[in-house]
Each structure stands twice: as C-alpha cells, then as structure tokens.
Amino acid sequence: MARRILIAGNWKMNKTATEAAILVNEIKREVCDIDNVDILICPPFTALSVASDVINESNISLGAQNFYFEESGAYTGEISASMLKDNGCSHVIIGHSERRVIFNESDTLINKKIKKAIEAGLTPILCIGEKLEEREANKTFDVITSQLEGDLKDIDVEAMKEIIIAYEPVWAIGTGKTATAEQAQEAHAFIRNLIKEKYNQEVANETIILYGGSMKSSNVEELISQPDVDGGLIGGASLDAESFTELVKKSNKE
Ligand code: 13P
C-alpha cells in the first residue's frame, strides 16, 4: 500500500487561542476539498481546545507538541496524554530538537514518551536529526542511528507501526537553509533501512518519514518528489494560512 503524504504544521510557541481560531478557520476553508494529503496542525496547548472545535469533522487532524509520560499527579507544569486526547488530539510531537537542546530531553525520556503515547492511543511523531557540527564532522548517520536506538528501545513491531518519524536536520530549522532533496533522500533512505534492520521490510515500507527544516511552498515539491520523503513537518510556514495551504496544495506526489 502506498504511503499517504502528511503535511503537519508545528506552530511552536506561537498564536493565542483567539489567533488560532482565525488561522484554523482560514486553513479549513482552503483545504476542505483536499483528500489526497493528510493534514495535521499542532498548536500550543492553550489553543488545542479552540482548534479542536474549529476543525470538528473536517479533514484536518490535531496534534500537540509535547506531553509528559505519567498519567497524572505532582508534575507541576506538565500535561498528560489523556489531557491531550480530551482536547481532541490524535497525534503528538516527541523529541523535537528544541526540546532536546533547550529542555535537555534525553533519548531515555523520549523513549518513555513514545511508549506512553502509543499506550494512550496517540500517534507519536518522533523527531530526529543532526546538528551542523555533527554533519560537518560526517557524523550524521551515527547521530541518527544512536537517536533511533535510544528512542525506539524495547518498542516492538506492532508499536513501531504506529510511529511517524520526522527527520529534521537541526541546521535547517528556522534558518532558511533547507536540506537539498538529495540530502533529505539520503537521510530518509538511511532511516528506512535502519527500521528494516531493526524490524522488517513491511514496517519499513509503511513508516511515514517526514522532512522538517525550512520547508515551504517553493521547495516542497522537490523534497517530496524523493521516494522516501512522505511529507513535511512545517514550522514557520505553518503560521500563515496562505503559505501553509499553498504548501499543502503542492504536496501531491503524483
Ligand atoms: P521551520 O519550518 O521553521 O524551519 O521549523 C521546522 C520545525 O522545527 C518543525 O518541527
């Protein structure tokens, strides 16, 4: 079965609930007829509820950008998987490089979050990718291998079928520097092969691998024309209805 294209907007720490309602309404109006691309938006926690109300029964899905793996309790400032589900989320981003770098998230923590997300029925979007100095030191594949080893520890084949991976080279995030289509394809093919080695060919074939890092409507076609690039995780270009919906409309692989 061919993998469906997924375009996901990661809003990061942007948009109030009021602003989110306007943006989601604009996006919904523009993409309501699109059925060959899966569309996901990941607003901040405080806008999830209003976004969920707006996208109700549309072709747009809702995800969060983070959560904590415990069910409930004394974890000041944290949000649980059931709270996300209660707010209409079907997906959650895990291990974004900003969380790894700014908030010191480790592969061990990320691994616990992936397991909890799957247990709770949320689709994890696991982000991996190398920093500039790692790429320049020819360590890209070592970094990807080590991240996946830690992040997917003790995750069995059935659980792996639920996971989406986002390859986000850190040097391309928010910098305007996009990986070339060749660089993206090389990394994605490498990731797919690692999944094949750890699990099997079928899971490797079915796993959706998104590219993230300065993706926009002007480069999306070239990137997703690559055989192993199944869509994008979009930061900056997802914050404006026109740029996001243009990107979605150009994301048809055929
Ligand atoms: P930009 O699209 O702003 O580079 O961000 C990418 C990203 O981090 C998506 O998670």
Residue indicated by tokens 């969380």: 99
β-pair partners for 231:
6
What pLDDT tens digit does each residue of the chain (254 aa) get?
Answer: 689 999 999 999 999 999 999 999 999 999 999 999 999 999 999 999 999 999 998 999 999 999 999 999 999 999 999 999 999 999 999 999 999 999 999 999 999 999 999 999 999 999 999 999 999 999 999 999 999 999 999 999 999 999 999 999 999 998 888 889 999 999 999 999 999 999 999 999 999 999 999 999 999 999 999 999 999 999 999 999 999 999 999 997 76
Nearest CA, atom 5, ligand 1 = 235
Q: What is the rounded distance in angstroms from the CA atom of residue 171 to the CA atom of residue 166? A: 14
Tally of domains within the chain: 1
Tokens of 132: 């500039």
Catalytic residues: 96, 168
Ligand 1 residue neighbourhood (C-beta within 6 Å): 10, 96, 168, 173-174, 212-215, 233-237
Q: Tell me, in angstroms, the distance from the centre of ligand 1 to residue 65's CA.
A: 12
Q: Tell me, in angstroms, the distance from the centre of ligand 1 to residue 74's CA.
A: 32
Q: Tell me, in angstroms, the distance from the centre of ligand 1 to residue 17's CA.
A: 21
Q: What is the CATH number of the domain that holds 234?
A: 3.20.20.70
pTM of the model: 0.97
* Containing structural domain, residue 113: 5-251
